[in-house]
Amino acid sequence: MGIRFILLVNKQGQTRLAQYYEYLTLEERRALEGEIVRKCLARTDQQCSFVEHRNYKIVYRRYASLFFLVGVDNDENELAILEFIHLLVETMDRHFGNVCELDIMFHLEKAHFMLEEMVMNGCIVETSKTNILAPIQLMDKAS
Amino acid sequence: MALSGMRGLSVFISDVRNCQNKEQERLRIDKELGNIRTRFKNEKGLTPYEKKKYVWKMLYIYMLGYDVDFGHMEAISLISAPKYPEKQVGYIVTSCLLNENHDFLRVVINAVRNDIIGRNETFQCLALTMVGNIGGKEFAESLAPDVQRLLISSSCRPLVRKKAALCLLRLYRKNPDVVNIDGWSDCMSQLLDERDLGVLTSVMSLFVALVSNNNEAYRNCLPKCVKILERLARNQDIPQEYTYYGIPSPWLQVKTTKALQYFPTVEDPNTRRALFEVLQRILMGTDVVKNVNKNNASHAVLFEALALVMHLDAEKEMMSQCVALLGKFIAVREPNIRYLGLENMTRMLLITDVQDIIKRHQTQILTSLKDPDISIRRRALDLLYGMCDVTNAKDIVEELLQYLSTADFAMREELALKAAILAEKFAPDLSWYVDVILQLIDKAGDFVSDDIWYRVVQFVTNNEDLQPYAAAKAREYLDKPALHETMVKVSAYILGEYSHLLARRPGCRPKEIFAIINEKLPTVSKPTVAILLSTYAKIMMHTQPPYPELQEQIWAIFRKYESYIDVEIQQRAVEYFVLSRKGAALVDVLAEMPKFPERQSALLKKAEDAEVDTADQSAIKLRSQQQTSNALVVTDQQHVNGSILGNQLGLVKMPSQKMEASTHNQGLTKENGAVSKVDPEPTPSADLLGDLLGPLAMEGPPAAPVSGEKNMISALEATPDAAGALALATVGDQSNSVQPIVNIAERFHALCLQDSGVLYEDPYIQIGIKAEWRAHHGHLVLFLGNKNTSPLLSVRALILPPSHLKMELSLVPETIPPRAQVQCLLEVVNLRASRDVAVLDFLYKFGTAVVSVKLQLPAVLNKFLRPISVSAEEFFPQWNSLSGPPLKLQEVVRGVKPMSLLEMANLFASLHLGVIPGLDTNPNNLVSCTGFYSEGTRAMLCLGAFACNIAKKGWITVTIGILPYPFHEAEKTVVWLLLIHSFLLVW
């Protein structure tokens, strides 16, 4: 199915955004997030951006205090996912203007809207920033 | 920073953020949940805005990991709201909070459908996205035609169609019949002509799913994919918005290249030429640039192109370009590229004959085994494992052994297993093999499964030349101060058999051997004690006529264990003691073990055959390879240890040695009877172990029927004889030519007590199970592992649930690729108590053989029990208030196998019966308290008292009481019967 989940976690390990594309119970999520945070946050810049976890991979990238962690199937193209994370960040940048952790925290709904336009059912649905942001801009105008 | 449109939400988020600790956070959240709950209760006063705000708060709380068990209906109801902002929240929050099986979703199917077929395209998008994310079977049935129509409609705008494509993908996965293959290949072909890159990106994902299932049907789409790739690679007509750091949509390029890997070949010469031109351009034209993003994006495309070239495996020149590139990658500093270089080199090994070129990089790869990054180390290990052969085995295995002492725990098990397999597979000489395995046990005993030491014993037994060497080595290790128990086992076994070959060496006289082994006796566990007793008996046998002093010492030990609590040990002690008084006859009875029969493995033959035609289907093969390597990590450790190694070993050629008929040991009628019964079937490895254990048995299944004379170590009695009652239902179609290599009934029985293990295994497939039980829910994962190098076809799994269970099995793929393991989820809901057992009707084809088995699933009553801990003050009033039948029933169970109270308590614990220690003052009485869960009723409290009288008479009085009173009479009796039944089953 490609992407299994997208997690945004700060360096204290607090979840700032979570979107799962396969259903996990709350306990499973908590356990998973704990394990992943433990595994990924301890890594250094000199290490690669891929971590093998259970039967899938985590592709992650760090921006200041925020970690973007994407769980993918083993046959997914790791570098493509790595750049997809950057595309997400650039999209957020375009909307918020130099996005930071607080923007995502306090605009949880906007972050969700963006993700919703970019990923669906674990697959990439749109990569044009203009198209991704169009519905949000429409809404902003309306209100 | 602009505040969110919803002030209340912002305030709440900021409150939570300001909490000093987890406790404060919890309090704040509980307060908010309480607030939301109250507001939802008097819904009348709630404006849509407020509702929306509360629902976002719920999502936020849920994201933080707190349970939100109410308000789902409110979230769902927003879907039917007339205005976009509310509707949007309804859709998004619903797809985050609920799963596809949630009953509430049914309520909105109509509203969702109305949005999908309605005129408002923003509503269409919302509805399609939600169905795409969480739509289940019911959605597939009722919405698929509408979604298809949107996808191919010319009047629909791209923003709707791209969502329709991925929505259809979801529905297709839920029910493949929604896409009619005949009609769809033409539709797909048209869809691939799409100019809008957003739509094309989604359509390509749908296409990959379709084509991975049936590439033949979509052959007409192949040229279209090549065209898309050409368009992107040449940057023709690509809008700026879809160019990422100068690279035309890298994601679409990757996806399209992936799709092409599902076609076995490209036949049409024009298409082929065009494709190779594009690939050549990518291979040659990707340079390392300064900008990280551009670099990553172009390399993403490059790696996918490499995979496609490897898959097509056609142009020699291109292949060597690929190897050269990968060789460059594994030496760069950039860790991501190094990781991917190693990963792709491993894939390459599987496909083509490039081993020699890859070997040139061996030093570099060995360096990566010591990289500070575990991700890279894992890749290096996999690659080394794959590239190992006779010429470099010594170097690689020794390197692995060296690394073992410093490796992280997470990797040791895999490392030990791989080293053992390689050592056996490519051993230049057998003494080296023995060295390696003993070192392995010494350095990482905890990670060396029993199979590994069984195997070394087997080799030593079968090779006379090796015996003195192995015995000397074993003796050496015994001098080490801290010895792993596995080392004690293997040394004791080998010295028992062959220490007489060392007798002239210093420190190797029988009494010295005995003394050094006996030093370990006080510290080892029961199974090892049993082995040591056998070793002593063997030592006595080798010292005929006996040395009186040594004999006295050994007899003293036998006598000490004569009344030992463990039956196996007790029996050995008693029997060896009696046997040893028979004087010369002892030599006959306890003579050296005969050789193990060497089996030409049918699996091995198949592995060899399959290696010849590896050209096709490599995309699948690649994936399967990855899966097997992961399988080592995923599943239950114990079991993986055993089975995977077993399989591997089964595949392995034994170093040249000739099987001699074991005629020189005719005195050993019994042992020969067991061992020389060579199975004509392809014999799986588990049996090899069985044989090894047969005469020494204390664990594992009985290897072969032992008959005739008194069995000195009764293997059969050591294993619970539970097969009888259950065997009928489990042994499937008698016409099967493929026979299971595990005792199905026994496996079922074992799984009734454990939550994970092997359910079924035959030479081709292994079915493992891992279960989690929560109240009346069961969450089972079935692991279907193909043990072969050819695929298993026409796989079909049907669940035949009894009326008291609701069961749903996720889609089981029709084909299991070679050496792959697939996981299927099975959800179970218990409706009421019953003794019926669910059955898995499993069928597959391998070559010409059709194998069909009916397997009982361990979703039995006791799985829905949860122990409850109570105090004596709570228990006895309840207990005494139950005044005889039908609330309290009593039965005596006779013929119980002797076991200690502790064992009994453990047994109850694995039945989830929750024994409460010390509650009853009489030490022979066990008291238990447990809750039985079924859907729709509250937990039923079951109290039990077990007056155990096993030691003397072998019976137990079982008294069971059930609360609450108004529980349905008939059902209560069933539960009661069932509990009794499950005890009988175990004893």
What is the spatial order of strands in the sheet that B777-786 belongs to?
A: B756-761, B765-774, B777-786, B821-830, B805-809
pLDDT of B877? 77
Q: Is the pLDDT of residue B879 over 50?
A: yes
> Region A133-140: what's the mean pLDDT?
89
Q: Residue B598, by phi and psi: left (phi above 0), alpha (psi -120 to 50) or beta?
A: beta
Coil, helix or strand at residue B195: coil
Tokens for B149? Answer: 């129509």
Task: Identify all chain B residues contacting A14, using CB atoms and an 8 Å cutoff.
Answer: 64
Residue B635's pLDDT band (cuts 50, 70, 90): very low
Residue of B296, B623, B824 for testing the chain A interface, max A β-carbons within 10 Å: B296
Candidate ranges B74-88, B247-261, B282-296; pick with highest mean pLDDT? B247-261
Name the burial class of residue A87, with classes exposed (0-12), middle (13-18) and buried (19+) by CB atoms within 10 angstroms of its CB. buried
* DSSP type of residue A55: T
Task: Out of B59, B65, B626, name the one closest to residue A74 (CB).
Answer: B626
- Residues in B 820-839 with any Cβ partner in A closer than 8 A: 823
CATH code: domain of residue A67: 3.30.450.60
C-beta atoms of B297 and A46 within 8 A: no
pLDDT of B986? 52
C-beta atoms of B297 and A112 within 8 A: no
Q: How far is CA B334 from CA A72, B284, B382, B974, in A?
A: 21, 20, 20, 66
Residue B897's pLDDT band (cuts 50, 70, 90): low
What is the spatial order of strands in the sheet that B865-867 belongs to?
A: B865-867, B925-932, B940-949, B955-963, B888-893
C-beta atoms of B303 and A23 within 8 A: no
Coil, helix or strand at residue B949: strand
Strand partners, B826: B780, B809
Q: Is the pLDDT of residue B869 over 90?
A: no
Average the pLDDT over each of A137-141, B257-261, B695-699 and give the range with the smallest value: B695-699
The residue of chain A nearest to residue B101, with distances taken between CA atoms, is A23
| A54-108 pLDDT tens trace | 889 999 999 999 999 999 999 899 999 999 999 999 999 999 999 999 999 999 9
Q: Considering chain B, what percentage of its residues have pLDDT values greater than 70?
A: 79
Task: Identify all chain B residues contacting A79, using CB atoms and an 8 Å cutoff.
Answer: 296-297, 299-300, 303, 336, 340
pLDDT of B852? 85
Domain of residue A54, residue span: 3-142
- What is the number of structural domains in chain A? 1
Task: Identify all chain B residues contacting A100, using CB atoms and an 8 Å cutoff.
Answer: 1
- Residues in B 618-637 with any Cβ partner in A closer than 8 A: 622-623, 626-627, 630-631, 633-634
Q: How far is CA B238 from CA B156, B252, B296, B686, in A?
A: 21, 12, 20, 59
Residue of A4, A123, A132 for testing the chain B interface, max B β-carbons within 10 Å: A123
Long-range (24+ apart) CB contacts under 8 A made by B405-409 are B405/B443, B405/B444, B407/B377, B408/B374
pLDDT of B680? 40
Average the pLDDT over each of B332-341, B359-368, B788-797 and give the range with the smallest value: B788-797
| Spatial separation of the C-alpha atoms in residues B434 and B458, rounded to whole Å | 11
CB A79 within 8 A of CB A70: no
Any A CB within 8 A of B49 CB: no
- Residues in B 146-175 with any Cβ partner in A closer than 8 A: 159, 162-163, 166-167, 169-170, 173
| Spatial separation of the C-alpha atoms in residues B112 and B661, rounded to whole Å | 74
Question: Which candidate, B456, B419, B459, B425, places its Cα nearest to that of B440?
Answer: B419
- Residues in B 246-285 with any Cβ partner in A closer than 8 A: 249-252, 254-255, 258
Task: Out of A106, A134, A142, name the one closest to residue B13 (CB).
Answer: A106
Residue B624's pLDDT band (cuts 50, 70, 90): very low
Task: Identify all chain A residues contacting B7, using CB atoms and an 8 Å cutoff.
Answer: none
b/e map B728-741, b = 16+ CB within 10 Å? eebbbeeeeebebb
| B650-665 pLDDT tens trace | 333 333 333 333 334 3
Question: Which candidate, B948, B959, B958, B981, places its Cα nearest to that of B883?
Answer: B959
With tokens 């019911």, the residue in question is: B138
C-beta atoms of A49 and B100 within 8 A: no
pLDDT of B207? 95
The ipTM value here is: 0.97
pLDDT of B214? 87
Task: Identify all chain B residues contacting A2, using CB atoms and an 8 Å cutoff.
Answer: 205
Task: Identify all chain A residues contacting B372, using CB atoms and an 8 Å cutoff.
Answer: 44, 46-47
The distance in angstroms from the start CA to the end CA of chain A is 36
| Spatial separation of the C-alpha atoms in residues B658 and A17, rounded to whole Å | 64
Residue of A19, A48, A84 for testing the chain B interface, max B β-carbons within 10 Å: A48
Candidate ranges B741-750, B889-898, B953-962; pick with highest mean pLDDT? B741-750
Residue B598's pLDDT band (cuts 50, 70, 90): low
| B690-727 pLDDT tens trace | 333 333 333 333 333 333 333 333 333 333 333 333 33
pLDDT of B345? 92
pLDDT of B5? 66
Helical segments of B71-194, H only = 72-77, 84-97, 104-117, 121-134, 137-152, 158-174, 181-191
The pTM of the whole model exceeds 0.90: no
Dihedral of alpha carbons B182, B184, B186, B188, sign: negative
Query: Which carries the bigger pLDDT value, residue B708 or residue A109?
Result: A109
pLDDT of B574? 93
The residue of chain A nearest to residue B628, with distances taken between CA atoms, is A55
| Spatial separation of the C-alpha atoms in residues B860 and B853, rounded to whole Å | 19
| Spatial separation of the C-alpha atoms in residues B968 and B204, rounded to whole Å | 56
| B191-213 pLDDT tens trace | 999 999 999 999 999 999 999 98
> Region B436-455: what's the mean pLDDT?
86
C-beta atoms of B336 and A23 within 8 A: no
Smallest Cα distance from B632 to chain A, Å: 10
b/e map B674-684, b = 16+ CB within 10 Å? bbbeeeeebbb
CB B206 within 8 A of CB B165: yes
Any A CB within 8 A of B338 CB: yes
| B922-945 pLDDT tens trace | 777 778 888 877 776 666 777 777
| B549-587 pLDDT tens trace | 998 999 999 999 999 989 999 999 999 999 888 877 777
Tokens for B482? Answer: 């801290």
With tokens 């218990």, the residue in question is: B830
State residue B157 phi and psi, 5-degree precision: -80, 155
- Residues in B 370-389 with any Cβ partner in A closer than 8 A: 372-373, 375-376, 378
> Region B481-487: what's the mean pLDDT?
90
pLDDT of A1? 60
Residue B226's pLDDT band (cuts 50, 70, 90): very high
Query: Which carries the bigger pLDDT value, residue B968 or residue A87?
Result: A87
pLDDT of B337? 95
| B128-155 pLDDT tens trace | 999 999 988 888 888 999 999 999 998 9
State residue B589 phi and psi, 5-degree precision: -70, -40
Task: Out of B59, B202, B630, name the one closest to residue A55 (CB).
Answer: B630
Q: Considering chain B, what percentage of its residues have pLDDT values greater than 90?
A: 34
State residue A118 phi and psi, 5-degree precision: -95, -35
Q: Residue B867, by phi and psi: left (phi above 0), alpha (psi -120 to 50) or beta?
A: beta
Query: Which carries the bigger pLDDT value, residue B38 or residue B180?
Result: B38
Task: Out of A30, A130, A134, name the one closest to residue B65 (CB).
Answer: A30
- Residues in B 111-140 with any Cβ partner in A closer than 8 A: 122, 125, 129, 132-134
Average model confidence (pLDDT) across chain B: 79
> Region A104-133: what's the mean pLDDT?
94
pLDDT of B202? 96
Average the pLDDT over each of B36-45, B105-114, B169-178 and give the range with the smallest value: B36-45
pLDDT of B257? 96
State residue B649 phi and psi, 5-degree precision: -65, -35
Q: Is the pLDDT of residue B541 over 60?
A: yes
Question: Which candidate, B981, B872, B974, places its Cα nearest to that of B920?
Answer: B872
pLDDT of B936? 64
| Spatial separation of the C-alpha atoms in residues A44 and B372, rounded to whole Å | 10
| Spatial separation of the C-alpha atoms in residues B639 and B213, rounded to whole Å | 31
State residue B945 phi and psi, 5-degree precision: -130, 135
